[in-house]
Structure 1
Amino acid sequence: MKQLTDLREILHYVPRFRDRVFVIAIDGSIVASDNFTNLMRDIAILRSLSIEVVLVHGAAWQVTQLAERLSVTPSSVDGIGITDSATLEVSQLAAMRVTQEILEGLAQMDLRGTASNAVVAHPAGILRGVDQQWTGKVERIDTGMLTLMLKHDIVPVLTPLGCDGEGRTYRLNSDTVAVEVAKALNAVKLIFLSSEPGVRRNGTLIRQMNTSEAELLLKSERSGLNVDIASKLEQAIRAAKLGVQRIHIIDGQSQEGLLAEVFSNEGVGTLIHTNEYQSIRQATKRDLLALYGLLKQGMETDELLHRSRAEIERQIQDFFVFETDHHIVACGALHPYPQEQKAELACLYVSERTENQGMGVKLMQYAENRARILGAKTLFCLSTQAINYFVSKGGFTLGTPDDLPPARRAVYDRSGRKSQVLLKSL
């Protein structure tokens, strides 16, 4: 991968981020890693580019280590679940140590930082009949305090702890705190630094998802996500719904990982966004009339296989549409074949009046992301008139009917259209 310290590439993004807030959530294990100094250097680069930075750290790794040394069995280490008094005490000690390490790291980079009690919390209370004891819930963020710090070039450092109006301290989940801070400060980015490279499905890293795709992945019983990534993905979805447009999950142990994610189109981890392709969404039954009218144009020119309105309605959950000013101007469908780990991109069509605006490419990218989330290893499509388009714009290669799933091959043979089979490895 090219070196992202190249100023020409970095400066391409600077106008978009100047004077905007990045909230960076750092797992405790990353603070303890060999890459911590590089992360502090990356944060110094962000600050030199007039990007405001707020750090929220976890301490689960340190709580585990400290509890073992003190012969304490923690009731929870990540602020999720019950926090008994012994665990709270260990968590306070561990959080103080992590905070001090971060402040020392900032000082080494000639940055000013300070710990803050800007997180106001209250008891989580009794959940499903179980008293959560010293586990808390974020009540509000003191944005005035944080804004004042940022105004004076101070990097706020927030712990996974919060205090109530009586001075009582509660254990919090650091990822949850980061989401609340990002919302309160209207952050342009929320970045989770974990020990994982991002969100993976069947061993394959998912580069980007919108919120609906992320929710689909979480609901999938076969997603195979580990507990930490599942929690971060859940918080990313919540952040997006609260108005944070870009949430990143990246490997905090990767050199230049932070800069590579922020200052490149490709990135190195997983991006969850409010809607990268702002006009693309899953179709609903309310779209049936407009969707059928659009597809009918393609069927009349023999670009698309004939489908009845009733057939489209039966498969409406597979369709997605591209809207402009609340009008459907393009569409596509993704038919999964889970047993073969394949998916078909079908019914890709752009209305004549909106051709040559890149909508077809965006629809293909949307379908690819959705296919990966559904566990497909191969995306295929059939075409009679747009073969070159799929090859040149979509990266497909020529295949044969033998590459089709058996059920789809049977339909192919019956149609008699002799469409070209096109394949793309995911």
Structure 2
Amino acid sequence: MHERLTHFREILRYVPRFRDRVFVIAIDGAVVEDDNFPNLLLDIALLRSLSIRVALVHGAAHQVRRYADLIKMTPSDVDGTGITNRETLNVAISAANRVTHEILEGLSANDLRAACPNAVVAHPAGILGGVDHLFTGRVERVDTELLQTLLERDIVPVIPPIGIDGAGASYRLNSDAVAVEIAKSLRAVKLVYLNTEGGVSDAKGVIRQMTVQEADTFLKRSRTELQPGAVTKLTHALRACKEGVERVHIIDGREQEGLLGEVFSNEGIGTLIYANEYQAIRAAQKKDVRAVYSLIQQGTQNDELVKRTRGELEKVIGDYFVFEVDRNAVACAALHVYPEQNMAELASVFVDARYENKGIGAKLIHFTEGVARSRGIANLFCLSTQAINYFIQKGGYKLGTPDDLPPARREKYDQNRRNSQVLIKSLG
């Protein structure tokens, strides 16, 4: 699968969206010691070659445990969430320094300039639940100007889970929490968590994507059944999305080309939590018939859509989605399902002329594809007379023939005689 995903032409479809934007990549300490880490660094080098700016945040829990075992000490905390005594802080600093150095070595080997800045200002977590957490800290602020300066000069910031206060005292931080603060400060378009457990799973396997609302509900319902690491990642992913980060990915950092497979495909290999940029999209209701009919009328005048009567539309309004601006429907799309063939048609995509060139059509298409995937649809098809190149070049569709259509849809196709191009997309 990943050979297809990482084919250069596949990647190029996404580059304009991400060029000069920031990805924050949070790497668990265990991933740094995995055999796949050199491949991961190659992926990061590719991102940089495509003018995607990258900031790295790393953990060190794995190394803290190992270092503590070597000196026969039991750490009071390993991941920056519990109580950190002086001995554990010293071990954490040594472990974090080692991980930082390994990352800097690896980046240098790939001709990437990097630096470890003192950009995270911390303060003590304090007394929580009546217990002094000693040298466990919280992020007070991020020196955004320093990080931006590095990024603008093509230097990759490498940020450890250690923060320093204004008096020069060090504190152990949770790297997942640090990654959220870094992503917020840099207005990152993506925050990617690389762990050794993979995406968030339920009884059916890895959950490929969830809105913030869905993830929130899932966490509340399944918290006791999830591994502690999954709870931590999901909790911070939710906070990141709620506080301005558009996309958060949770993936297995040990999987070869997993990073590229996740960020350069709609399907991905882990779990995507997304702040609902689709919040303006909702399922159409009976009250929307008039607005949707008006949009379709505009489309038929331009010969972009097949003409529908209002009565026909009322019967299938449940297949439609609308995009709202100030509570007014300004665009629509439909998903007509053919269960016997496990196929669905993406249809009636239209944006009011006043709202063209704002990416609304693309959001509707991506949203509708996500709905099809969530319903287990294997193949999506659409018919087009004027947007054929868009669907092929931007949407990942391939040219098909009328013979690819479900029988019921083929019959209608033959009747309308528009000679629309059939386009097919596998949803994997």
Q: Tell me if TM exceeds 0.5.
A: yes
Alignment of 1:24-103 (within 5 A): 24-103=25-104
Q: Deviations over 1:59-89 (max 9, x none)?
A: 0000011111111111111101111111111
How many pairs are equivalent?
337
Distance between the aligned counterparts of 2:128 and 2:271, measured in 1? 32
Change beyond 3 A, Cα 1:223–1:11: farther
What's the CA shift for 1:5?
A: 3.7
Amino acid at match of 1:269: G
Q: Is residue 120 of structure 2 the alignment partner of residue 104 of structure 1?
A: no
What's the CA shift for 1:279?
A: 2.0
2:194 aligned residue: 193
SS in 2 for 1:220: helix
2:422 aligned residue: none
Q: Is residue 133 of structure 2 the alignment partner of residue 125 of structure 1?
A: no
Q: Is the 8 A contact 1:21 1:53 kept in 2?
A: yes
Q: Deviations over 1:288-342 (max 9, x none)?
A: xx9574599999966699xxxxxxxxxxxxxx9855124376899xxxxxxxxxx
Amino acid at match of 2:187: N
Amino acid at match of 1:324: E
Distance between the aligned counterparts of 2:28 and 2:370, measured in 1? 31
Amino acid at match of 2:145: G
Q: Deviations over 1:228-261 (max 9, x none)?
A: 1111111111111111111111110000001111
Amino acid at match of 1:146: L
1:151 aligned residue: 152
Change beyond 3 A, Cα 1:363–1:259: closer
What's the CA shift for 1:203?
A: 4.3
Q: Is the 8 A contact 1:247 1:273 kept in 2?
A: yes
Change beyond 3 A, Cα 1:328–1:19: closer
Change beyond 3 A, Cα 1:298–1:192: farther
SS in 2 for 1:253: coil
What's the CA shift for 1:223?
A: 7.2
What's the CA shift for 1:367?
A: 8.6
Distance between the aligned counterparts of 1:238 and 1:110, measured in 2? 34
- Root-mean-square deviation over aligned CA pairs: 3.4
SS in 1 for 2:76: coil
TM-score, normalised via structure 1 length: 0.71
1:327 aligned residue: 327
SS in 1 for 2:198: coil
Distance between the aligned counterparts of 1:52 and 1:363, measured in 2? 30
2:305 aligned residue: none
Alignment of 1:233-248 (within 5 A): 233-248=234-249
Q: Deviations over 1:323-372 (max 9, x none)?
A: 5124376899xxxxxxxxxxxxxxxxx999999x8969946844975x8x
The answer for unaligned runs of 5 or more in structure 1 is 283-289, 306-319, 333-349, 372-376, 379-391, 394-425
Change beyond 3 A, Cα 1:322–1:211: farther
Change beyond 3 A, Cα 1:149–1:227: same
SS in 2 for 1:80: coil
Alignment of 1:17-416 (within 5 A): 17-221=18-222, 224-275=225-276, 277-280=278-281, 293=287, 322-327=322-327, 362=367, 365-366=370-371, 369=374
What's the CA shift for 1:39?
A: 0.7
Q: Deviations over 1:22-43 (max 9, x none)?
A: 1100000000100010011111
What's the CA shift for 1:170?
A: 0.4
Q: Is the 8 A contact 1:280 1:363 kept in 2?
A: no
TM-score, normalised via structure 2 length: 0.70
Change beyond 3 A, Cα 1:230–1:368: farther
Q: Is the 8 A contact 2:333 2:350 kept in 1?
A: no
Amino acid at match of 1:30: V
Distance between the aligned counterparts of 1:191 and 1:143, measured in 2? 19
What's the CA shift for 1:116?
A: 1.4
1:12 aligned residue: 13
SS in 1 for 2:225: coil
2:397 aligned residue: none
What's the CA shift for 1:224?
A: 2.8
Q: Is the 8 A contact 1:322 1:328 kept in 2?
A: no
Distance between the aligned counterparts of 1:228 and 1:324, measured in 2? 37
Among the aligned pairs, what percent are the same residue? 53
The answer for unaligned runs of 5 or more in structure 2 is 291-309, 335-346, 353-360, 378-404, 407-427
What's the CA shift for 1:13?
A: 1.4
Distance between the aligned counterparts of 2:169 and 2:190, measured in 1? 31
Amino acid at match of 1:137: R
2:386 aligned residue: none
Change beyond 3 A, Cα 1:362–1:187: closer
Amino acid at match of 2:215: A
Distance between the aligned counterparts of 2:81 and 2:199, measured in 1? 21
Change beyond 3 A, Cα 1:366–1:220: farther
2:382 aligned residue: none
Q: Deviations over 1:120-151 (max 9, x none)?
A: 00001011111111110100111111111112
Distance between the aligned counterparts of 1:294 and 1:300, measured in 2? 10
What's the CA shift for 1:47?
A: 1.0
Distance between the aligned counterparts of 1:199 and 1:360, measured in 2? 25
Q: Is the 8 A contact 2:163 2:173 kept in 1?
A: yes
SS in 2 for 1:179: helix
Q: Deviations over 1:139-197 (max 9, x none)?
A: 01111111111122211110001000000000000010010001001111111001122
Distance between the aligned counterparts of 2:10 and 2:313, measured in 1? 47
